[in-house]
Amino acid sequence: MSHKDEVRDFLASRRSRITPAQAGITVSGRTRRVPGLRREEVATLAGVSVDYYVRFERGDLSGASDAVLESLSRALQLEDAEREYLFELARKAAPQPRSRRSRPPQVRAAVQSVLDGLEGTPAWVRNDRYDMLATNSMARALHAPMLSGSHHPANVARFVYLDPRAPDFFVDWEYLADDIAAVLRQEAARHPYDKSLTELIGELSTRSEVFRQRWAAHIIRFHRSGVKKLRHPIVGELELNYETMELPGDPGIAMIVYTAVAGSPSADALKLLASWAATQVSEVPFRASQPNDAH
């Protein structure tokens, strides 16, 4: 999908979901031919001319000021993640050199030391296309089904959409599938010429009807913290809190840490998982490489 198509579809989808009543607009008794707001209504709410807004919906955000984008965000009642996405689309509206994004090296040894220091706590590191770049022993034990495949590094998006075991392993699979589609769409807007990201999205679009549906829905939301429910083959169901932390020294890389409420059945399950993990052989492909290894 071209950048203009992306802008057009995003704005049209957000306009169509807002009713006149939600926007505080009084309508006459005549039948409306479009779902949601009309273009001229959005233009009025945003304080811009109809022609200017029509240009936006044709995919051209070039030259739009931050003030205009803020007004448009309010008119379309965008959530924080959607507002950030709109600004990202506007930043990418200017001509960009079609160069591959430079990637940082594999996870640094110091970061791996942090992971290993979190004893009893599953923690792992991913890039922005959900490759699992590094784990500690608890994260390897927790994600054993995902790491048992032949694809290295393991990729969460690929597992969720293409592996038939995923809906059983992730109790909240539907919500997770939405989250992953949202993150990939945001990353595609930030890095439209990232070859590896484009190839992953193309693979998922080709092989998964479920992904195609979610991609077409233009789901945009943050996936930074919350609760994840898993059904582990060894210890059963777990309900874990997760926090996603960007690593400032490694742009495009984030650490995810899982914890359980003290005294809960999930906390007991994690202790059992730790005992099981202690008997397992470390999975070398999922540990950090040396700094001079190729990414």
Vertex 231 angle, CA 225 and 233, to 5°: 135
Give the model's pLDDT for residue 220.
84
Are 163 and 254 in a shared domain?
yes
Range of the domain at 65: 3-91
pLDDT at position 30 is: 67
Give the number of domains in the chain: 2
Give the Cα separation of 252 and 127 in Å (integer): 6
User: What is the value of pTM for the model shown?
Assistant: 0.72
153 and 275, same domain (yes or no):
yes
3-state secondary structure of 6: helix
128 and 187 in contact (C-beta within 8 Å)?
yes
Shared domain check, 201 and 168:
yes
Asked if 52 and 188 sit in the same domain, the reply is no
How far is residue 7's CA from residue 229's CA, in Å, rounded to a whole number? Answer: 34
In a domain, 187, yes or no: yes
Stretches in the chain below the pLDDT threshold 50: 99, 102, 104, 282-295
Closest CA to 237 of 227, 247, 226: 227
Within this chain, do residues 232 and 130 fall inside the same structural domain, yes or no? Answer: yes
Residue 144 identity (one-letter amino acid): A
SS3 assignment, position 182: helix
Q: In this structure, what CATH number is given to the domain that contains residue 145?
A: 3.30.450.180
Residue 43 in domain: yes
Q: Which of the listed residues 24, 56, 91 is the one where a domain comes to its end?
A: 91
**176 lies in the same domain as 66:** no
Strand partners, 124: 135, 256
User: What pLDDT is stored for residue 45 in this prediction?
Assistant: 92
Name the burial class of residue 284, with classes exposed (0-12), middle (13-18) and buried (19+) by CB atoms within 10 angstroms of its CB: exposed
Chain-centre distance for alpha carbon 217: 14
Please give the Cα distance from 179 to 175 (Å, whole number). Answer: 6
User: What are the CA-CA distances from residue 113 to residues 32, 278, 288 (Å)?
Assistant: 61, 17, 9
Do the domain assignments include residue 230?
Answer: yes
Domain final position from 33, 64, 91: 91
Q: What is the CATH number of the domain that holds 66?
A: 1.10.260.40
- DSSP state, 240? E
Please indicate, yes or no, whether residues 146 and 36 belong to a single structural domain of this protein.
Answer: no
**Final residue of a domain: which of 25, 56, 91?**
91
**How would DSSP label each residue in 11-41?**
HHHHHHT--HHHHT----SSPPSSSS--HHH
Shared domain check, 129 and 227? yes
**100 part of a folded domain:** no
Other C-beta atoms lying within 10 Å of the C-beta of residue 275: 12
Domain-embedded: residue 175: yes
Q: Say what the pLDDT of residue 69 is.
A: 93
Residue 29, in any domain of the structure: yes
In-domain check, residue 294? no
DSSP string, 145-166: HHHTSSSSS-BHHHHHHH-TTH
Q: Are residues 192 and 135 in the same domain?
A: yes
What length is written for the chain? 295
Please choose, from the candidates 226, 223, 133, the residue with its C-alpha nearest in 3D space to the C-alpha of residue 187.
Answer: 223
Half-sphere exposure of 133 (CA within 13 A, CB side): 29
Say yes or no: 66 and 190 in one domain.
no
Residue 198 lies in a domain: yes
| pLDDT value of residue 96 | 56
Q: Is residue 282 located within the same domain as residue 177?
A: yes
Whether 141 and 235 map to the same domain: the answer is yes
